[in-house]
Amino acid sequence: MKPPPSVRFLQILCVFVMGFQAVAGCTTAFALSEPREGVNGTPTAAPASSKRPEALEERRQRVVEAAGSLVGRARIEVEGQRFPWDCTGVVLAAYSIAGIDLSEEFASRVGNGVARLYEIAVDHNVLSNRDEPQPGDLLFWDDTFDRSRNGRWGDQLTHVAIVVGVDEYGTISFVHHNYRRGIVIETMNLRHPDVHMAETDNGSAVMNSPMRMRRDRHIQPESWLASHLYRNAAELYRITEDPTDTVMVVTASE
């Protein structure tokens, strides 16, 4: 049985982003901490304190809207500030538009931009432990290209994106910088990781977008889709100015 993808959501989202108007620039490696294993092998986030819980959904929505507003832009500039024309530039700009300034923390770290964002998530204990990423989450991938140029597999943290939607079939829509096409919306489905194209009532549609740089696919040709290279997600919108605190959802009884 062919699984149904998220075509209707993408059509709606494209209309939304027009109302606003894989991989580059992340080449320096540095030592990484090993992710803690959680659900389905994803790192487990440590418990976070509760501060302004009502702000969480607002923050998440601001990040989603900000990411959508960047789609199709020829350069990344926010209120006169230019951001790198790469995957990390998209994240930093979207967060800036959403009112979350990552520049100081980002600049204080070393290594490629994707690894810096990952380490920020580790330090704030906001790596996701959910089965599937949610809107607003950052997505991290390994081995999207042969960064070390050694012809081997094993390049960690080479790409990052922002989730802008998840449909009922588990198809995740994300905004990122594609090394050939610029800032675009593409898709990933972890429930059907080996499906590239799927048939729908409206014809064929992409379920898992290609993520491995074309020139490097000969190294491990069976691993080239976004679902194949996915590492884990992070709820970076939960961080606050206090590095020991995060924003989280609490119930009325709490």
Residue 30 lies in a domain: no
Q: Which residues span the domain enclosing 198?
A: 7-25+49-238
Is residue 34 one of the residues assigned to a domain? no
Q: What is the predicted pLDDT for the residue at 202?
A: 82
Residue 33 belongs to a domain = no
Within-domain flag for 188: yes
- Please return the burial class of 244, using the count of CB atoms within 10 Å of its CB with bins 0-12, 13-18 and 19+: exposed
Q: How many domains does the chain have?
A: 1
Average pLDDT over residues 172-179: 98
Q: Rounded to an integer, what distance in angstroms lies between the CA atom of residue 227 and that of residue 19?
A: 29
Q: What is the pLDDT of residue 141?
A: 99
Mean pLDDT of 15-35: 37
Residue 208's contacts (CB-CB under 8 Å, 6 or more residues apart) are 187, 188, 189, 192, 193, 194, 195, 196, 225, 226, 227, 228
- Is residue 144 included in any domain, yes or no? yes
Is 37 inside a domain boundary?
no
> Which position has the higher pLDDT, 48 or 117?
117
What amino acid occupies position 77? E
